[in-house]
Structure 1
């Protein structure tokens, strides 16, 4: 916990590398939770509950296991604990709630659209091919579409259960110094 002018939450979970089949399910979870205004975290935390002004997830393709991040800016005077509970509830919904085909299709289309957009120009193609060769080899490019299309609701539940557990996570919280009554933290020399 640190103080800040804008309260923020950063929640990090362990995440698989591109070599793990769970990678594709986590990539879909990334889209389900925060890609666009229909995404679960945005619609719940920003639109419905109005406890955050912005929320996003971040998941990168990495050679080794890394992290899946949930981050956002809280509205002033909102209890961080309430926001944590709402985020946890959305993760639990991935585990226990329905995953409609339309929602899976939207997330799948977003994954595929982003993948193809990364190859738009010759420079993009060169950069992506170099990255792909570094991460997994050229076959990653050839197999990506099929692997994303094969991710099922059960795969998403298994990945959420395996990776998005509070007990394996780390949180960083910046609280609003005016509403908390706390003194701002001075940077260490």
Structure 2
């Protein structure tokens, strides 16, 4: 018990990253097209093995939504050499932890182990890539798991359709598959045949559509040999044709009403379609969201919650994706205040951003906020591994692990005003009233 406790503590141990300290890494490619990124840090006996596949919800065929997320669950079922139901037992028996997550653009699997179990992590991920068992028993089992997840996180969760964008993106995207939710529909998953799941794996789960990251306590030379041994023999698959669908510009304000049986308090939301995560403007919008609702001293919170006392809560956040992004500003009314009143005040604060420069004090606070966020994101080997894979796969630039903060540092007050004018336009947004079901 004591040994297991010590191992668990080590798994949570943060790597000491000093301010401004660079993350060292090496990159190379195997002959089968697998991209490899290595980050060696021997300060703690912990290592993360992660594999990111360039497949997400946007890659699904019409009528088969939810496939990418479904595989996040399905590929823990077992492999040719790992019996069904034993994946998590193997990981925990060796003092490790593991997880996976899916977005519109990619799927990521990872294990974090004591460093003496590095080879085990590499073997397990190569097993997942080479020959997982995809059968009807696994599909049926995970179908029920995904249904329960959807019920818990979206269908029965207050404001779940807002948090997971299922009630938002369908209005902002008419052509691009971003209009679909990551979790998909149960009707699509129920209708899918076993051969379709096998075909999805065969198309997207090849080494030439993946990035392998090893971060933490290991020796470079030995690890390169292990990677070649486990992943080198895996054959590459046909090149994938990427989604390349352009949305028409929004010409007129989109006004919709959505209902939620899980809420008692309505919500007013403005949502804007924004550029790719790789676009500089996406970074500026990230800063704008901090100005508007980044804590209790932010503009919207101070105005609507503290001063005017018309809102119970306010929020604003950018959700950046590979092809486009979305930017949401929302508020919940306090007492008898109307959604129309909230909308008017939100528009007033947006207009201030568009007509006046933010103060020097606000600007300094912004810089401190993003410096701290940058340091925090690189504070553990698990976080570093995920960042390295993301920057490589979705941004096409691994060096952002060190350089992205320079983009934020270079953003000016004038640029914040300019980008607010460019994207936060009333006639180019979705305006949503999100109401309790009993108000129908």
Instruction: Determine if the TM-score, normalized by the shorter chain, exceeds 0.5.
Output: yes
Q: Does 1:153 align with 2:413?
A: yes
Whole-angstrom distance in 2 between the partners of 1:33 and 1:184: 29
Q: Does 1:6 align with 2:265?
A: yes
Q: Does 1:61 align with 2:320?
A: yes
Partner of 1:110: 369
Q: Which moved more, 1:110-119 or 1:149-158?
A: 110-119
Q: Tell me by how many angstroms 1:142 deviates.
A: 3.0
Relative contact order, higher structure (CA 8 A, sep 6+): 1
Partner of 2:302: 43
Considering only CA atoms, is the larger Rg found in Structure 1 or Structure 2?
2
Whether contact under 8 Å (2:274, 2:423) holds in the other structure is yes
Q: Deviations 1:120-146 (Å, cap 9, x if unpaired)?
A: 211111112212222212132232121
Aligned residue pair count: 180
Q: Deviations 1:146-167 (Å, cap 9, x if unpaired)?
A: 1111111110011101111111
Q: Secondary structure at the match of 1:64?
A: coil
Of 378, 385, 389, which aligns to 1:130? 389
Whether contact under 8 Å (1:14, 1:164) holds in the other structure is no
Relative to 1, partners in 2 of residues 1:17 and 1:148: Cα closer, same or farther, differing over 3 Å?
same
Whole-angstrom distance in 1 between the partners of 2:370 and 2:323: 21
Q: Deviations 1:24-77 (Å, cap 9, x if unpaired)?
A: 211110111111111011111111111111111111332112101112321132
Q: Does 1:20 align with 2:279?
A: yes
Partner of 1:92: 351
Partner of 2:342: 83
Whether contact under 8 Å (2:313, 2:333) holds in the other structure is yes
Partner of 1:162: 422
Q: Tell me by how many angstroms 1:176 deviates.
A: 5.8
Whether contact under 8 Å (2:358, 2:413) holds in the other structure is yes
Relative to 1, partners in 2 of residues 1:68 and 1:2: Cα closer, same or farther, differing over 3 Å?
closer
Higher helix share: 1
Q: Normalised by the size of structure 2, how large is the TM-score?
A: 0.39
Whether contact under 8 Å (1:54, 1:73) holds in the other structure is yes
Whether contact under 8 Å (2:272, 2:424) holds in the other structure is yes
Whether contact under 8 Å (2:265, 2:332) holds in the other structure is yes
Q: Deviations 1:85-127 (Å, cap 9, x if unpaired)?
A: 1001111111112411110111122122112212221111111
Q: Normalised by the size of structure 1, how large is the TM-score?
A: 0.87
Partner of 2:433: 173
Of 397, 401, 406, which aligns to 1:141? 401
Whether contact under 8 Å (1:31, 1:111) holds in the other structure is no
RMSD between aligned alpha carbons?
1.7
Q: Secondary structure at the match of 2:320?
A: coil
